[in-house]
Structure 1
Amino acid sequence: MSQPNGTAPSLWLEGHRAPVPDEIDAVGLPVEGTLPPELTGRYFRNGPNPLPGTPSAHWFTGPGMVHGVRLRDGRAEWYRNRWVRTTEFTDGARFVRPDGTFDHAAVPANTHVVPHAGRILALVETGLPYELTPELDTVGPCDFGGLLKGGMTAHPKEDPVTGELLFFGYGLVPPYLTYHRLSAGGRLVESREVEVPGPTMMHDFAVTANHVVWLDLPVVFDMALARRGGGMPFRWDDAYGARLGVMPRAGGPVRWFDVDPCYVFHVGNAYEDEAGRVVVDGVRYRPEDFIAFWPSIGGESDPSAATVANAPVRAAATGSSRLHRWTLDPASGAAKEEPLDDRPVEFPTHDDARTGHAHRYLYTAAADAIVKHDLRSGSSAALELGPDLVPGEAVFVAAEGARTEDEGWLLSIVTDRAGQGSELLVLDAADLSRTASVRLPRRVPAGFHGSWIPDPVS
C-alpha cells in the first residue's frame, strides 16, 4: 500500500499497525495462566484507526479507537472496541474553520485514555479531551465548564499526593504554551501562559514534587506543510535549538537549560534529588534518528534546514530512541546528560504512585521485548517475545499493599507482526514472568497509550 501521496509505502497501514474495519463485542475470553483476582477493572488502550477506504496521511492523524478488556475476579469478561465519536469522526468537522479559527472539538482523540475525578478521557494533544463511558460509548467533548480554551496534552500527570491533574496545551499561534491544573475533583483551577519562542510539537512534559519540566525541542510547526494538507505539519529545524525548562509549580519564572539537540516523545519520570537538582528520564531521539524515523510514519523532513541530514550522519541513524537522563542543576545552571541504556525502546512507564518522586524502575517496549530498567544498579532485564510478536506499552499496576516498587503486574497488548492476532499479556513486574494471557477475539493494531482503570472501591 502506498501513502495517499503515492510516494512511499504506508507502513502504518500494514501488518501489525493495519486498522481494523469495524467494532465488535466478545464475552468470556479464553485465559491461559491465572489472572490475579485483584485485577478487577478495565484495561483501555487508544490508537489511530482510519475508517475503511479512508487511509490517513500520517500515523498520528487517524481517528481514535479505544480497545477495552474487562477483568473481574480472575475472569476476562469481555472485549470491545469503539471509535471515539468526535465531531471530526461523525460530522467531518475541520480543526481549522473557514474563517481561520480553531475548532478544538474537531480532533481524532487517538493518543491516550486516562481516568480522573470519575471521568474517562480520550486524549490527543491538539484539542479537547472526549469523555467516554466505562462501556466505551462517547459522551462528548469536555472543556471543564468552558474554562479550557485550547488543546490538552495526551500526557497529563496526576500528582499521587494531591490528586491534582497537571497538563498543558500547545498552540500553532500564540499562546504557544499554556500550563493547566485540575483539582482532584476535576475542576480547572489554574491556567498560566508560558513564554516560548514559537510553535513546537511538545508531546510530553515532566513534573516533580515542586516543579514542571518543559521540553522545548526543535520539531516545529511549518505553515507551508499545513497549507499542503494531508499529514502532520511539523519538521525538524536545527535553527530552533533544544532546551529544557524548570518552572516552579507554585509560580515563578522558567529556568532554561540548553541541551544537546534531540527530540523526546515520552518522559519516563522526573524528581528532585537530595541536592535539589531536577532529574528527568525519557526516551531520546538524536537528530539523525528523528529525521530517519519521521518520514516512515508519514512526516516530512526538510534536508536543507537540517545540517544533520548529510549522508555520513544519516548512514548512522537508526530511527530509534534510547533511554536517557538529564540532570538539571538550578544552583549552577548546568545540565548533565547521560545515556541509561543502549537498547532501542519507546513508551516508558513507571509506578504512577511515584510520579514526580524518585523511582528505581522504568518499563519500556522494544521491537520484540518488554524491558525492565533498574536505574539503581544500571542493569536491565527483558522478556524476549521473539521476532514475530510486537509488544505495546506495558502499564504497571501495583499490587494491593505493595511493599516494593515493582510488586505488581505489567499489562501489554501484544500483536503478531503479520497482523493475525493479539493477546493481553499480564506479567509479574518483579521478574517479568508470565502470569496470564488473555486471547483477544481479533487483532488489535499497534497503537499508543492506555490505562488500567480499577473498579471503584465499594
Structure 2
Amino acid sequence: MEALLVEGSLPANLRGRFLQSVPHPAHGADPVSITGVRLSDGTAAWHRARTDHSLLGTVPSLAPAVRDGLRIARPVQDPRTGEWHTIATRPGSPLAEHVTMSASGSVRRGRCFVLSGPTRIDTVALTPDHVVVFDVSVVHDRAAELIGLRTPFAWRSSKQARIGLLPRRSRGNPLWFPVSPCFVPDAVNAFEDGQEVVVDALRQTSPTGPRELTRWTLDLGTGEADEVFLTYADSAIARADEHGRGHHETYGTVGTTVFRYGDAAYSFGADHRLGQPALADEWLVIPVRHGASSDLAVFDATDLAAGPRSVVRLPVTVPVATRTAWQPLAYPIR
C-alpha cells in the first residue's frame, strides 16, 4: 500500500480504516466507489475496498442507496449481536421490508409492512426492542421519473410525517407517532428510557430548508411525540458514540466548522469543505477538501478547539463524502 504524508503526529492507538463512499462516474447506474485510508502505528496508507455484489457489499455501513431496483436505507449495526438492519423500499410502492443481515452482510430474514405511501427512506435507527422507521413527507414521483429527473422524488407538505417503532421480537406492525412534516436524511441514534424512546436525527422541514439536529421523544403510553430542535448541522454528522444506548456525545459539521454538540467547535476557515466525521474511540476523523487538495484531519474528540492533532495529505483529489465509516483493524474486512 502507498504510504501517505502525515503532518503532525498520528495517535499510536488509532488503528483502523477510514472509509468513504464517493461518486464514481464509471460505475453507471450505481455511481459510487469506496476509497479509504488505513491508519496504524502512527502511519497512513491507501486502502481500496474490494467490489462485492451482495446486498450490502464489503462495507455494510456504506451500502449503496440503490441496488437491484431497491432503495436501501443506510444500515445500522446492533452492537450486541453484530447484525445489520435496514429498510428496503421499491420506488412507487407503499410496501417496505425490514431486512436483517449477518455481520458479513448476508441476508438472514425479512418482513414486510406498509407505509403511508411510496415514501423515500434514507436512514434507520435501532434500539434493543425496536427498529425506528421514518415515514416522511418526501415520496416517489412517477411524473419526475418519466421525464428522467435524476432524483424522482417530490416534497409533499400535506403528507403526514410519522416515526414508527417496529418491534424486533414479534411480528407486529410499527407503532406510529405523528410528527411535523419533514424529511430525515440521517439518524444519529435512538435509545429506550423507560416507557419512552428517544430518537436523535437530522431533519429538513422544507425542500430547501437547513438541516436541523432534532430530538423526538416517543411516549409508548400516550402515542405522542415531543419534538425539540437541538442545533443546525450539515448532512455530515457522526453517528453517536453509544449507538442503541443513551449516547454521550454527538459530533457534526456546519459550514466550515466541526462541532461537538453543546460545548466545543473548531473552524477550518473559508474555502474548506468538510465531509462526514467518523468517531474512532476518543478520536474524530474528518475528510477535508481545500481547493484541489484533499486531506484527512484527526482530532482529539475531547478537545476539538485545539485543532487537528494530525493531517493526512492525500495525493489525489477526492470528492467530499457524506457517507463515511470507521472500522477498527480487528474488524474482518475483505
Calculate the TM-score normalised by the size of structure 1.
0.66
For 1:389, the equivalent position in structure 2 comes to 272
Select the residue among 35, 40, 43 that pairs with 1:67: 35
SS in 2 for 1:340: strand
1:106-185 aligned at under 5 Å gives the runs: 115=59, 122-127=62-67, 151=70, 153-174=72-93, 176-184=95-103
In structure 2, runs of 5+ residues without a counterpart are none
Structure richer in helix, relative to its length: 1
Contact 1:46 1:65 in 2 (8 A): yes
In 1, Cα distance between the equivalents of 2:58 and 2:214?
Answer: 25
- 1:41 lines up with 2:16 in the alignment: yes
In 1, Cα distance between the equivalents of 2:272 and 2:99?
Answer: 39
- 1:285 lines up with 2:260 in the alignment: no
Contact 1:114 1:450 in 2 (8 A): no
Identity of aligned residues (%): 34
- 1:257 lines up with 2:171 in the alignment: no
- 1:333 lines up with 2:223 in the alignment: yes
For 1:50, the equivalent position in structure 2 comes to 25
In 2, Cα distance between the equivalents of 1:390 and 1:69?
Answer: 18
For 2:248, the equivalent position in structure 1 comes to 360
Structure richer in strand, relative to its length: 2
For 2:136, the equivalent position in structure 1 comes to 217
In structure 1, runs of 5+ residues without a counterpart are 1-25, 87-103, 129-149, 293-318, 374-378, 399-407
In 1, Cα distance between the equivalents of 2:324 and 2:237?
Answer: 12
Contact 1:79 1:440 in 2 (8 A): no
Shift of 1:345: 2.9
SS in 1 for 2:123: coil
- 1:241 lines up with 2:113 in the alignment: no
Select the residue among 345, 350, 355 that pairs with 2:234: 345
In 2, Cα distance between the equivalents of 1:85 and 1:332?
Answer: 45
Shift of 1:258: 0.8
Contact 2:296 2:312 in 1 (8 A): yes
Shift of 1:165: 1.0
For 1:424, the equivalent position in structure 2 comes to 296
Contact 2:187 2:239 in 1 (8 A): no
In 1, Cα distance between the equivalents of 2:52 and 2:219?
Answer: 45
Q: Deviations over 1:191-242 (max 9, x none)?
A: 0001113211110121111111111011111111111114111010123221
Q: Deviations over 1:325-367 (max 9, x none)?
A: 11110101111001112x3433322345x21111121111211
Q: 1:85 to 1:249 in 2, by over 3 A?
A: closer
Shift of 1:380: 3.2
SS in 2 for 1:361: coil
Contact 2:73 2:121 in 1 (8 A): no
Q: 1:75 to 1:164 in 2, by over 3 A?
A: same
SS in 2 for 1:226: helix
In 2, Cα distance between the equivalents of 1:174 and 1:219?
Answer: 13
- 1:411 lines up with 2:285 in the alignment: yes
For 1:380, the equivalent position in structure 2 comes to 263
For 1:322, the equivalent position in structure 2 comes to 212
In 2, Cα distance between the equivalents of 1:33 and 1:154?
Answer: 37
Shift of 1:69: 1.2
Structure 2 residue identity aligned to 1:124: P
Select the residue among 405, 430, 444 that pairs with 2:318: 444
Larger radius of gyration: 1
Contact 1:115 1:453 in 2 (8 A): no
Q: 1:452 to 1:72 in 2, by over 3 A?
A: same
Select the residue among 120, 139, 143 that pairs with 1:201: 120
Contact 2:161 2:181 in 1 (8 A): yes
Q: 1:186 to 1:205 in 2, by over 3 A?
A: closer
Q: Deviations over 1:369-405 (max 9, x none)?
A: 11111xxxxx23211111221111110011xxxxxxx
Aligned length: 329
In 1, Cα distance between the equivalents of 2:58 and 2:301?
Answer: 21
In 2, Cα distance between the equivalents of 1:62 and 1:210?
Answer: 33
Contact 2:62 2:74 in 1 (8 A): no
Structure 2 residue identity aligned to 1:383: Y
